[in-house]
Amino acid sequence: MNAVKRLQALAFAERRHIIGLVLSAVMIGLSILAQAYLIVDIVDRIFLKDESFETVVPALLWLVVALLVRAFFGYVSGRIGASLSEKAKRALRLQLLDRYATSPVESSLTGQSGKKVSVFMDAVDEVDAYFSQYWPQVIQTSIIPLLILVVVFSQHWISGVIMMVTAPFIPLFFIIIGIATQKKSEEQMEKMNQFSGKFLDVLQGLTTLKLYNRTEQEAKAIEKSSLDFRDATMVVLKTAFLSGLMLEFISMLSTGVVALEVALQMVVWENLTFFSGFLILVLAPEYYLAIKDLGSAFHTGRGSMGAADRIFDVLDAPDDRIQWGTKSLRSRTPDLELEEISFEYAGGRFSLQPLSGRISSGTHLALVGASGSGKTTVLNVISGLLQVKSGRVLVDGELLHTYEESSWYGNIAYISQNPYLFAGTLAENIALGEVADERALLEAAEAAGLSEVIDQLPNGIWTELGEGGFGLSGGERQRLALARAFFKRPGILLFDEPTTGLDLKTERIVRRSIEELSKGATLITVAHRLHTIKEADTIWFMDDGKRIAEGTHEALLAVPEYAELFALQKGVSR
C-alpha cells in the first residue's frame, strides 16, 4: 500500500470528521446558491423592475444570513480539518514512538539521532496540510460544483455543458504540477533530514571537535547542508508559485468563455433572460474557484507525500521487535539459564558463539575477558535487550519472553559505564517517572553515597540537571544511577563495570553501594577489576565470542589465558 492510500485510510478512520466535512460542504454549497440567487434577485428588482429599496430590504437581510452561514460553515470545515489532522498526526507519532521504543538495542543505535527526530517531528508536521487542507477541499470540490451545475443546467443547458467541458483542464494541470511537486518535496525532505542529522551530530560532539580544532570545518559542512536545504525549499516554492499563477490563468480563461457564451445568448440570439444569464455569471466564478482551490490543496497534499514516504519507510522497516508474553515473575530472584544461545550483529561485525550456563538465584556471576570478547553482548541478551539468533534464555524454567515486559524490567537494574541522565531535576532522574515522596528519594540517594553531592547543590535534590547529566562528574553520575537501583530495589542486578574510570575515593563509595544493593539479589557483572573478579561465585572467561573457561577465580588460574589476564590486571593495579 503506497503512502497516498495509507494517508487516506487514516482519514477515513475518522468517520465522524468525514461526515462533518460533508455536511459543512453541503451547507457551504447551499449558501453559495442562496447568495447568488439573492444578489441576482435584488439587482433584477431594483434596476430592471424599478422596485423601491424598501421592497428589497428582506432580500438584503436574507443575503446577509447566507453570507454568515457560508462564513460559519467555512470556519467549521477548517476546524474539523484541523482536528482530523491532529488525530492523524497523533496516530502517526504513536506508531513511530512504538517502533522506536520497542526496537532492540542494535536497531535503536543505527542511523543518526537527528534524522529520527526529524522524521518524528518535522515529517509528521509536513503531512498536516494533507488532512487539514487537502481533504476538506476534496470534499467541498466533490459537492459544491455539482450543486452549481444542477442550477446552471436548470437555467441554460449550453452553459452547463461549457462549464463541464472546461472544468477538467484545471485538475489535469494541477495533477501534472503535483507530480513534479512531489518529487521536489521528496528531495527537500531528504535535504532536511541530512541537515538535522548533521546538526545534531555536531552539537553532541562539539567538545570533541573543539579539542581537535575541527569546529571551523564542521561549521562549513553545516552551512553547506543548510544551503542545500534552502535551495531545495526554494525550488518547491517556485513550483508552488508557478502552479498558482497557471491555475488562476486557466480559471480566468474558463470564466471568460462562459461569460462570452452568456453574452452572445443574451445580446445576439436573445435566448436567455437577464435573470438566468446574470445568475450563471455569478455562479461561474464560484464553480471554477472550488476546482481551483482543489488544485492548490492538491499541490499542498502532494507536497506532503515526501514526508509521508519518510514516515512509512520507518514504519515499514523489518519489524525485529521482541515479542513479550503475559506471565508475571513468581520470584524476585529467579534462576536464570542459557541454553545454546547465539547472537550476531548486523553486518557480521561480531558473533556470540553458542553459550550455555546456569545462574542460580542470589549468586554473583562475573564476565571476564578482553575488550570485544562478548561480555556486554551476553549482558544484553540476559537483560532481554537483544533477541538471540538461536537458543533459549530461561527464567525459572520458562522462556524469558513469555513473561510480561513490565514484570521482567520491573525486577532488574542495568547500570553501564555511561548511564544516561535526562534533562530535569535530580529527583526526576532517580524516580524515572515513578511517583515517590522526597523521603524515599533521599534515602535512595544516601544509600548510593550521593548525600554530600545533594547538600552542595543549590536546590538539593530538586536541582535541575542539563541534558546527559551536565553539571555532574562521572562518579556523581554513577552514584545517581545506583540511586535509581536503590529506589527500585530489584532482584537482578546487571553491571557493566560501573567503576571504570573513577578515582579511588569514588570507586570505594560505588563499590560499597553495590555490595549493599546486591544483598539478597542476583548479581551479574562485566568485570575488569581484581576485587570484582575475586568476589564472584562463578566466573565466565570470554574470548572472541566464546566462553573458553568457567569456574571460581582460584580454579581459573590454571587456565593460561586467564592467568595471563589476571597477571596483567594485577600488574596494572600496583
- Give residue 352's domain range: 322-411+529-574
Distances, alpha carbon 436 to alpha carbons 420, 432, 442, in Å: 21, 10, 10
Q: Are 287 and 181 within one domain?
A: yes
- The kind and range of the H/E element at 46 are none
What pLDDT is stored for residue 434 in this prediction? 86
Measured at the CA of 451, the angle between CA 448 and CA 457, to 5 degrees, comes to 125
- The kind and range of the H/E element at 337 are strand 336-344
What pLDDT is stored for residue 574 in this prediction? 42
Whether 104 has a pLDDT exceeding 70, the answer reads no
Nearest CA to 57 among 71, 72, 65, 30? Answer: 65
Residue 444 lies in a domain: no
Q: Are 235 and 269 within one domain?
A: yes
Residue 457 lies in a domain: no
Q: What residues form DSSP beta bridges with 523?
A: 364, 493
pLDDT digits (tens, 9 = 90+) for 344-390: 887 777 899 999 999 999 999 999 988 889 998 999 999 988 888 89
Q: Are 217 and 293 within one domain?
A: yes
Asked whether the CA dihedral 38, 43, 49, 50 is positive or negative, the reply is positive
The percentage of residues in the chain with a pLDDT greater than 90, rounded to a whole number, is: 45
Residue 259 lies in a domain: yes
Cα gap 565→314, rounded to integer Å? 44
As a three-state string, the secondary structure of 64-90 is HHHHHHHHHHHHHHHHHHHHHHHHHHH
> Which residue carries 497516498 as its cell?
4
Q: Are 290 and 348 within one domain?
A: no
Measured at the CA of 89, the angle between CA 88 and CA 95, to 5 degrees, comes to 95
pLDDT digits (tens, 9 = 90+) for 107-128: 555 666 667 887 888 889 989 9
Cβ atoms of residues 133 and 78 within 8 Å: no
> Which residue carries 562475573 as its cell?
366
Q: Are 340 and 285 within one domain?
A: no
Question: pLDDT category, 570, cuts 50, 70, 90?
Answer: low
Which residues have CB under 8 Å from 277's CB, separation 6+? 156, 262, 263, 265, 266
- The kind and range of the H/E element at 541 are strand 538-543
Mean pLDDT of the residues in the chain: 86
Other Cβ atoms within 10 Å of 419 Cβ, number: 19
- 495: cell is 553491571
Residue 148 lies in a domain: yes
Q: Which of 284, 315, 346 is the last residue of a domain?
A: 315
Q: Are 169 and 298 within one domain?
A: yes
Q: Are 285 and 342 within one domain?
A: no
Question: pLDDT category, 181, cuts 50, 70, 90?
Answer: low
What pLDDT is stored for residue 564 in this prediction? 84
Cβ atoms of residues 384 and 494 within 8 Å: no
Q: Are 148 and 192 within one domain?
A: yes
Compute the residue count for the chain.
574
Whether 17 has a pLDDT exceeding 90, the answer reads yes
- The DSSP code sequence of 263-319 is HIIIIIS--S-HHHHHHHHHHHHHHHHHHHHHHHHHHHHHHTHHHHHHHHHHHTS--
Q: Which of 247, 282, 315 is the last residue of a domain?
A: 315
Q: What is the CATH number of the domain that holds 327?
A: 3.40.50.300
Residue 420 lies in a domain: no
Q: What is the mean pLDDT of residues 39-66?
A: 93
Question: Number of folded domains in the chain?
Answer: 2
Asked whether the CA dihedral 193, 187, 104, 549 is positive or negative, the reply is negative
Residue 200 lies in a domain: yes
Long-range contacts of 546-550 (CB under 8 A, 24+ apart): 546/353, 546/355, 546/374, 547/355, 547/357, 550/357
Q: Are 259 and 370 within one domain?
A: no
Q: Are 267 and 328 within one domain?
A: no
pLDDT digits (tens, 9 = 90+) for 316-329: 887 777 888 999 99
Residue 467 lies in a domain: no
3-state helix, strand, coil in the chain (%, to 5): 70, 10, 20
Residue 348 lies in a domain: yes
Cβ atoms of residues 556 and 539 within 8 Å: yes
Other Cβ atoms within 10 Å of 244 Cβ, number: 16
Q: Is 475 exposed, middle or buried (0-12, 13-18, 19+ CB in 10 A)?
A: buried
Q: What is the CATH number of the domain that holds 154?
A: 1.20.1560.10
Q: Are 254 and 398 within one domain?
A: no
- 337: cell is 539459564
Q: Are 210 and 308 within one domain?
A: yes
Whether 571 has a pLDDT exceeding 60, the answer reads no
Other Cβ atoms within 10 Å of 311 Cβ, number: 23
Q: Which of 315, 332, 356 is the last residue of a domain?
A: 315
